[in-house]
Amino acid sequence: MNLFVSVSGGLDSTALAILLSKNNKARFVFADTGDEFPQVHNHLDNMEKILGITIARVQNAKYTLKEYEIERKFFPSPRARYCTRIFKIKPIEDYLNDFAPFQLAIGLRYDEAGRTGNVEDYAIYPLQDKKMVKDDVYELCNDHGLVPEYPWYMSRGGCYSCFFKSRAELLALAKHEPELFNDLIYREETIQKLRGDNYLMFDRFKKHPLRRVKEMVDNKIENFEEIPMTYNTGQCGIFCRK
């Protein structure tokens, strides 16, 4: 049975990789949507150096998330979460199928027991077997100099285009990462032109297109209405920390 480790770039999967780096049969895999923060790639590079491992970085064979959105004229959302399925789970499964039979170690902690999401029966949960909770994974990562460095305003990383971001995180993205935010404006406006309507990327700012959000941030007018998150942000998370 081939053993693989799913690396998301987050704290839990980093702790898992540290544990399993001592098993010289374990191999490591990360799925790149094309929308990862540069800090995530730096973190993967650091993991490789410090742990002496190689992390296979797989992608959807045809599209990045951005290309797919534009082709389909449709953004992912909590109700249409195709991003995780097509750009995280499927590339990893396609990669692993060449190594069947396999097991895939997933970084779910003991205090998250029961949250196995939509993963198939190939999954194993070594952090749960070792009863590791949040403080344990932090300590292990810290001891190895491998606490992930998300942009300071992000709570957990994930794609810079992710619809799970809070209003504060999106405003910080507009303010501190103009290039990334301009890319989101480009995506929103391109799809609006293709659809011929006012379709928006996020329901966070329902009445405001992203260009207007950016103008308001630049002009320090940030008192516009937020649509509260009503959906459960605790689902899945197994491959993309969300």
Chain-centroid distance of CA 221 in Å reads: 29
Paired with 30 in beta bridges are 57
Shortest Cβ 148–ligand SF4 spacing (Å)? 14
End-to-end Cα distance, the chain: 29
Say if residues 239 and 31 touch (Cβ distance below 8 Å): yes
Shortest Cβ 62–ligand SF4 spacing (Å)? 16
Task: Please identify which residue in 83, 106, 173, 191 interacts with ligand SF4, judged by CB under 6 A.
Answer: 83
Binding segment for ligand SF4 (CB under 6 A), chosen from 99-107, 115-123, 143-151, 158-166, is 158-166
Task: Please identify which residue in 4, 30, 75, 164 interacts with ligand SF4, judged by CB under 6 A.
Answer: 164
Task: Please identify which residue in 84, 96, 106, 188 interacts with ligand SF4, judged by CB under 6 A.
Answer: 84
187-226 footprint of ligand SF4 as x/- string (CB under 6 A): ----------------------------------------
Shortest Cβ 119–ligand SF4 spacing (Å)? 14
In sequence order, the 6+-apart residues with CB closer than 8 A to the CB of 32 are 57, 58, 59
Beta carbon nearer to ligand SF4, 28 or 239: 239
Shortest Cβ 159–ligand SF4 spacing (Å)? 3
Binding segment for ligand SF4 (CB under 6 A), chosen from 121-129, 137-145, 157-165, 170-178, is 157-165
Binding segment for ligand SF4 (CB under 6 A), chosen from 82-90, 119-127, 174-182, 196-204, is 82-90
Task: Please identify which residue in 9, 91, 158, 209 interacts with ligand SF4, judged by CB under 6 A.
Answer: 158
- The verdict on 128 binding ligand SF4 (CB under 6 A) reads no
Restricted to residues 22-41, the positions that interact with ligand SF4 (CB under 6 A) are: 33
Query: Cβ–Cβ contacts within 10 Å for residue 152, how many?
Result: 8
List residues near ligand SF4 by CB under 6 A. 33, 76, 83-84, 87-88, 158-159, 161-162, 164, 240, 242
